[in-house]
Amino acid sequence: MSLIYFFTGIGLSMDAFSLSLSLGTTLPKKNIIIKTALIVGLFHFIMPILGYFIGYSFQYRIPNINILTFILFVILSIEMYKSKDEEKPNILNNLTILLIAFSVSLDSFTVGIAFGLNNEFILISSTIFSIISALFTYIGLTLGKKLKSKYKTLSTYLGIILLSIVALKYLINV
């Protein structure tokens, strides 16, 4: 089960990674890179827990929970695809960091809802999401600083593929 959380965490972290790659081209200082990674990780911990409680409260009222979970993951994959070419901010300040952390963790909120519907282990999954997203944000900012934003689209596609695979897992378990 924790492998599902791990791969979901990778999928959820790909938008943070791709955004970090592009933001890394603004050549942020090391302390800004660390601060951004920690805040993104914190949001990836909190948002799925919030979503979990919403999903858990509807758990027994919704039939075919796996189908709904599949649909949520598919919608998330589509949203990641649609937003892959959006314009990214250039300056990393406290407000921008908070907005980035919030925006890249919205998908974690959705996953939290899905996990609540299925009564998954939210503290374990949130911790995994947090660690992976903080790490991917750090790596993305660092690589972006060195390589500019050459590979940002590829990482978004990888995130979409991983989330689609997790969605199929729920469809197969119907």
pLDDT of 81 reads 73
Q: Encode pLDDT of 111-132 as tens digits.
A: 888 888 777 788 999 999 999 9
Return d(Cα 64, Cα 19) in angstroms, integer: 35
Is the pTM higher than 0.85? The answer reads: no
Greater model confidence, 40 or 89 = 40
Q: Encode pLDDT of 9-59 as tens digits.
A: 998 888 788 778 777 777 788 999 999 999 999 999 999 999 888 877 766
Burial class (CB in 10 A: 0-12, 13-18, 19+), 74: middle
All residues at 6 or more sequence positions from 113 whose CB lies less than 8 Å from its CB, including other chains: 51, 52, 54, 55, 72
